Amino acid sequence: MNDIEMRLRTMDLRPPRDLRARALARAATVRARPRWRLASIVLAGVLAILVVGYSLIALATAPRAAAMGDGGYGVGEGCWFVRDGSGLHFHVGGWYRGLPALCTSERDSTPSTSR
Amino acid sequence: MGEPLLDPEGQPGLTPEVLCARYSDRVYRFAAMVSKNAHDAEDLAQTALERAIRARSRFDHRRGDVEGWLWRIVANAAGDARRGARRRRLMERLLARQAGLVAHQGPPETADEVLLAAVRRLPHRQRAAIALRYGADLDLRAVGATLGVSVAGAGMMIRRALDRLRTELTHKEMQP
């Protein structure tokens, strides 16, 4: 063993007297964290369900692009998804009280920034 | 849930108190060598011990011994601390400047302080290897396993770090 190794091994590095007590105290008080984590997971799950549900309704109610009658809206007529011969398409549709409007009879076609 | 935690002799019952009593000195020596200052070293040692205490239920003796399990936790805590330390020091300097305080750390005076300051200037992988070998008192196999390198790789890292320390300390001692 050379001089540097010996000096590294014998270096005077003593921990603070309360290190053990502090570590034990902190380990005993972190039990609240999983509850906080669970709450954020539940919140994220609820938001995901709402977004997915909303998207499914929007997709399920997508009308044909050619449907311009009283019962539905086509491209540029307030719908966020429309169908044509080549399939389902997304385009910016209308708004209802600040939220993307579904293809229902309740809508206003002007984008709104306030709810 | 893993098996009940066993100590290095294979005896059950390594409680948080026993874990702290048995390893806190070595964990602190490791932390003092890898951290940039004494304050960071205390924080790291405390965090590493706390993580080890909380992770006891996940220890499985079939996957390795207590030493390997513990030092992986400590090394991971050191990695996390290193990533956060630069941001925190920047914030502390900013706050100290706003409060009109000037953070001043005197130059190292004793031989141990000079050596510790030189260790703290090593690249972080070499610093971790030195801290595991001489702070935590692990053999080369354990150092390699903790850092994810071979025994030869760990030996090479430590040799290079020792060469660098020797050069730096010799250079310092030759200065008036």
pLDDT tens per residue across span B68-104: 889 999 999 998 888 887 777 788 778 887 776 655 5
- Nearest by CB to residue B28, choosing from A9, A15, A26, is A15
- Nearest by CB to residue A30, choosing from B49, B54, B135, is B54
Complex ipTM > 0.90: no
Top-ranked range on mean pLDDT: pick from A65-69, A103-107, B78-82, B169-173 = B78-82
Map chain B to HEC letters. Answer: CCCCCECCCCCECCCHHHHHHHHHHHHHHHHHHHCCCHHHHHHHHHHHHHHHHHCHHHCCHHHCCHHHHHHHHHHHHHHHHHHHHHHHHHHHHHHHHHCCCCCCCCCCCCHHHHHHHHHHCCCHHHHHHHHHHHHCCCCHHHHHHHHCCCHHHHHHHHHHHHHHHHHHHHHHHHCC
Say which residue, B146 or A64, is predicted with more confidence: B146
A24 reaches B (C-beta below 8 A): yes
Residue of chain A nearest B158, judged by CA positions: A5
| pLDDT value at A106 more than 90 | no
CB contact (8 A) between residue A26 and residue B50: yes
Kindly report the nearest CA distance between residue A91 and chain B, in angstroms. 43
pLDDT of residue A99: 65
| pLDDT class of B105 with cuts at 50, 70, 90 | low
Global confidence as pTM: 0.63
pLDDT of residue B92: 78
| pLDDT class of A84 with cuts at 50, 70, 90 | low
pLDDT of residue A54: 79
A vs B: CB pairs below 8 A: 73
